[in-house]
Amino acid sequence: MIKKIKIPENVEIEVDGKSVGVKGVKGELKRDFSNPMFDKSLSIKKADGEIIISSEDKRKCVKSMVGTIYAHINNMIVGVTKGYKYTLKIYFVHFPMKVELKEVNNETEISIKNFLGEREPRNVKVSDVKVQIQGDLIIIRGIDKEKVGQACNKIESACKVCKRDRRVFNDGIFLVKREVDT
């Protein structure tokens, strides 16, 4: 099985064994795809302006790993050229929720106050992403799709309703839109 990715003009890609580094306008990402189960049967090469992910093995698990590596490298290319933007919506009915940001170096602390009338704020720390609050929306931007998604998951999970009827208390922060940033 062979999958090819054409390298765009403004992107530099370095392949060192199973490690791939992608450099573009927005930044730089590196990822190591080595796995003892697939190291002998998979190869990643750079040739003629293309990245070639190939395997001679016909097993289903190897074919799926080729597809996975292909998708990850595509996501890295989109990330360093355009970036990712996820939008979360702050939704409350019973108690007015307040969300505040505090940035320290490369880390952002998100403080969710008065969630379901709680006295103590719920705090979430995310790193390597940019967080903005616009009215009742939280916008998360970044070049690494996984880190942007994990930041959204942390914020959503911090507002999980426990010990109450979810049909009545539908307060929280929810992911409403995923898109490629422009």
The secondary structure of 136-175 as a DSSP string is TEEEEEES-HHHHHHHHHHHHHHT---SS-TTT---EEEE
- Both tokens of residue 139? 């916008």
- How far is the C-alpha of 33 from the C-alpha of 39, rounded, in Å? 9
- Look at residue 171 in the predicted model and tell me its pLDDT: 84
Count of C-beta atoms within a 10 Å radius of residue 175: 16
Quote the pTM value: 0.87
> Averaged in consecutive runs of 10 residues, what is the pLDDT profile of the chain (182 residues)?
91 91 94 86 89 88 91 95 95 89 91 90 93 94 95 92 75 92 82
- Look at residue 135 in the predicted model and tell me its pLDDT: 92
Q: Which has the closest alpha carbon to 70: 107, 31, 25?
A: 31
CATH superfamily placement of domain 2-81: Ribosomal protein L6 (3.90.930.12)
Per-domain boundaries in the chain: 2-81, 84-180
Class of domain 84-180: alpha beta
The yes-or-no answer to whether 2-81 and 84-180 have a common fold is: yes
Phi/psi for 51 (5° steps) reads -100, 125
- Both tokens of residue 102? 């505090």
Phi/psi for 71 (5° steps) reads -65, -40
